[in-house]
Structure 1
């Protein structure tokens, strides 16, 4: 027995009953310090909040709808209810029932599904913003997400307002089979409705945007903005390498690479996205200059994905 163990045994003998349980409890949250996936540096959670969850090394961590809405809109905004859809139309089950996965995701995120819709002002212009939440089953595209996209587009048309979509997804939701794949053409039609109405549709590509989402509404915007380092593609890099039997270029499918190849119009730091959107919307909506977004304050919840925000 070492000296440390001896000391702990001695302390435990003189500690009053019940006191050890009190002091053994964690008085601080588990994520008080977060490791930057890019540099390995441990960053204090409050410092991350102040920097919109961008680490000192420049790594843009994954964040949820509350933070997206908070920093995108000028000030106050109103969240809209997302449409209800059948909970488990195919009665799907793999190692656990689909209903159990949905229940767990809803408990973790506090939201009904992967999409969230809000209406507010960006640079003084009324706008509809749709945010895809990667923390909810990888932001997978299912019936609920498709219906939410369509509702956001219809809301924008009714208000004669632009639609801004923050994408983040691993692809289609396999538990919904063909019903999930049907959302690709349905969301495409919704984009065409916006264009027929002469309204701007801006896509902000965040990490990661892959699969059927990339193959549909994520690449149909009038303008495509991407956060630095975001993974954007259809199939993953490893799948492509195994298929073509060649090593892919450095940075393949990252935002900067796609900017160089012309698939992305602009790579924008998270702090600069509100101002960039405001300037674009003023030009696209043919409106004079208006006030810029107010200072940011932390939202109440769902700010970081459970995986810690790594790529």
Structure 2
């Protein structure tokens, strides 16, 4: 029994004549790095970045799209209709029940959210993983949504920007989820054949089959600070090779040092950086000064 919650608070409320309202548990968010408590509205206003430490929390997919596009205005792409439970999978819980729970929690059909709009005046298609929907896992619905987004970018003759955040392929769909790896890879190649840029912004975490396919096939790879980017987890690798891995292994900063990532960019700077890079790649006049980093990346 929690003495303060169950006894002290009701007693104070009754003395003051106030009704005993339940207080939401997510009003305060704890920084994983420093332990600092941040009020949820302050965190949202700062784009889910802890103000003091600069730690980048996971950002909801719809909020990221709204932040990315000019004035938060974009056309949302519809989620394609696919088979919901092709393998009739069940572990400790039915797969259909897991889908229902995730849909109720996120108000999304599946893990992929995509939109078309203008970012700093540049028309793009943006695709974002919602990690809160079954760990952003890649299944049939996600794969189909990604392919449709690439097809829309080709039809609109505009670039595509990908924001992966995933634990990998969705085990409840077995081999059908793994089939999405080559399917999305083909979609990437179609966009490149159409002559349109493809930029990936790696967020925390980007792992498994997603890393093994479209997440590492961009013309340019940006990453948010501190993001975990890998195929297999650190513990699995250490147990396999029986060696201790370097400090910071599989973080975006480590990958930047070893040539796997082109630039680590803070969340607040991502729209401007993307716009500058795309204008260079598309040979459009820049409306703002182009950073040396952007020029160096585009020249690679």
Taking structure 1 as the reference length, what is the TM-score of the superposition?
0.86
Q: How does 1:30-69 map to 2 (within 5 A)?
A: 30-55=25-50, 56-69=52-65
Match of 1:177 among 155, 163, 174: 174
Q: Partner of 1:95 in structure 2?
A: 92
- 1:267 equivalent to 2:234? Answer no
Please give the alpha-carbon distance, in whole angstroms, between the structure 1 residues aligned to 2:61 and 2:129.
7
SS in 2 for 1:262: coil
**Structure 1 residue 29: deviation in Å?**
3.1
Q: Partner of 1:206 in structure 2?
A: 203
- 1:74 equivalent to 2:58? Answer no
Q: Partner of 1:231 in structure 2?
A: 228
- 1:245 equivalent to 2:236? Answer no
1:114–1:139 Cα contact (<8 Å) kept: yes
Q: Partner of 1:141 in structure 2?
A: 138
Structure with the larger RCO, 1 or 2 (CA within 8 Å, 6+ apart): 1
Please give the alpha-carbon distance, in whole angstroms, between the structure 2 residues aligned to 1:160 and 1:82.
21
Q: Partner of 2:285 in structure 1?
A: 288
1:124–1:290 Cα contact (<8 Å) kept: no
1:208–1:231 Cα contact (<8 Å) kept: yes
2:280–2:286 Cα contact (<8 Å) kept: no
Please give the alpha-carbon distance, in whole angstroms, between the structure 2 residues aligned to 1:144 and 1:58.
34
1:124–1:291 Cα contact (<8 Å) kept: no
Deviation per CA, 1:61-115: give whole Å up to 9, x if none: 0011111111111121111101111010010111111000000000000000000
SS in 2 for 1:207: coil
Taking structure 2 as the reference length, what is the TM-score of the superposition?
0.89
Computing the radius of gyration over CA atoms, which structure comes out larger, 1 or 2? Answer: 1
1:231–1:253 Cα contact (<8 Å) kept: yes
1:39–1:57 Cα contact (<8 Å) kept: yes
Please give the alpha-carbon distance, in whole angstroms, between the structure 2 residues aligned to 1:182 and 1:225.
26
Q: For this pair of structures, how many residues does the alignment match?
A: 280
Structure 1 runs of 4+ with >6 Å offset:
none
**Structure 1 residue 291: deviation in Å?**
8.0
**Structure 1 residue 30: deviation in Å?**
2.1
- 1:113 equivalent to 2:114? Answer no
SS in 2 for 1:40: coil
- 1:160 equivalent to 2:160? Answer no
Deviation per CA, 1:256-300: give whole Å up to 9, x if none: 0000000000000000000000000111111113489xxxxxxxx
1:163–1:202 Cα contact (<8 Å) kept: yes
2:279–2:285 Cα contact (<8 Å) kept: yes
Structure 1: state its 5+ residue gaps: 293-311
SS in 1 for 2:229: coil
Q: Partner of 1:86 in structure 2?
A: 83
Deviation per CA, 1:127-171: give whole Å up to 9, x if none: 000001110000000001100110000000000010001000001
Please give the alpha-carbon distance, in whole angstroms, between the structure 2 residues aligned to 1:212 and 1:69.
24
